[in-house]
Structure 1
Amino acid sequence: MPVTIGFNHVATLTADLDKIVKFYTDALGATMTSEMQAVGDHPRMAVVDLGEGAALNVFEVPAEAIIGDRRQKGGRGPIDHFALAVDSLETLQATRDRLRSLGADTGEIQRLGSEWSLFFRDPDGMELEICCHADQ
């Protein structure tokens, strides 16, 4: 049995912190729980609460400091994508609709093993996934 209980946070980079925080707030109902202004060599950052103790720590850096092509597998850096969990297929469908209404690039909901899955991209082009357990 693992000693871990899930992920605490995923850290990511953006050139526009305000845009990304607004996206996650509007799309997923997330809340920004803290913001730090840039100090010395530490960039401006926000902690975005994704629910159930999981967070997204977003660092604002110049666009040229973000290496790779986030739309190309293998060019996304050490984190290819991360997945968020929702409680039901109905919530997943409503989240898909909300993402689309915000202009997000989404795929279709698909069954992957014991999970329903939806892939989408945030405004920076980062690929993410939202999943829920499928009824057996």
Structure 2
Amino acid sequence: MPITTGFNHIATITSDLDKIVAFYSDVFDAKSTFEMAAEQGHPRMTILDLGGGAALNVFEASAEDGAVDRRRMGGRGPIDHFGLAVDSLATLEATRDRLREHGADIGEIQRLGSEWSLFFRDPDGMELEVCCHADA
């Protein structure tokens, strides 16, 4: 049986964070649960609660920073990363240990809003995240 409980979030990039937050708030009643100002090496971001334990993590970056114009139907745009959900901090810590055993490039477990988070890179170099609710 898989140790994950499904997807925790999808992260995407936009050139206009306020516009995207307003759209998901107005259309889907999404609620902002965490906001982070831009810092050296990290873009401005907001976490939107989409319900059912799923979130949309939206990062703001200009076209020069790598954001892609996705307005054309059929055009492709970037998904920055996705987050896998686990049931508890203990499972997250065990997952960190398993990633280390498999030689994965990993970060440190950190608190982001109401979530515990661990970033890692898969064998293809794609950055991913494993998360659990902090109250789990």
* TM-score, length-scaled by structure 2: 0.51
Structure-1 separation of matches of 2:59 and 2:36 = 10
Structure-2 separation of matches of 1:3 and 1:44 = 31
Alignment RMSD, CA only? 2.1
- Greater strand fraction, Structure 1 or Structure 2: 2
Q: For residues 78-108 of structure 1, give each alpha carbon's deviation from its aligned partner in whole angstroms, at most 9, with x where no partner exists.
A: 67xxxxxxxxxxxxxxxxxxxxxxxxxxxxx
Partner-residue secondary structure (3-state), 2:7: coil
- Residue in structure 2 matched with residue 41 of structure 1 by the alignment: 41
The amino acid across from 1:29 in the alignment is D
Shift of 1:18: 0.5
Return closer, same or farther for 1:74/1:8 CA change in 2, 3 Å cut-off: same
* TM-score, length-scaled by structure 1: 0.51
Structure-1 separation of matches of 2:76 and 2:40 = 29
Structure 1 residue runs of 4+, over 6 Å off?
Answer: none
Structure-2 separation of matches of 1:39 and 1:67 = 18
After superposition, where does 1:90-129 map in structure 2 within 5 Å? Answer: none
After superposition, where does 1:26-105 map in structure 2 within 5 Å? Answer: 26-66=26-66, 68=68, 70=70, 71=72, 73=74, 75-77=76-78
Q: For residues 103-127 of structure 1, give each alpha carbon's deviation from its aligned partner in whole angstroms, at most 9, with x where no partner exists.
A: xxxxxxxxxxxxxxxxxxxxxxxxx
- Could you tell me which runs of 5 or more consecutive residues in structure 1 were left unpaired when the two chains were aligned: 80-136
Is the 2:21–2:48 Cα contact (8 Å) retained in structure 1? yes
Percentage identity across paired residues of the two chains: 57
Return closer, same or farther for 1:56/1:25 CA change in 2, 3 Å cut-off: same
Partner-residue secondary structure (3-state), 1:7: strand
Shift of 1:72: 5.6
- Could you tell me which runs of 5 or more consecutive residues in structure 2 were left unpaired when the two chains were aligned: 81-136
The amino acid across from 2:47 in the alignment is V
Return closer, same or farther for 1:10/1:50 CA change in 2, 3 Å cut-off: same
Return closer, same or farther for 1:22/1:74 CA change in 2, 3 Å cut-off: closer
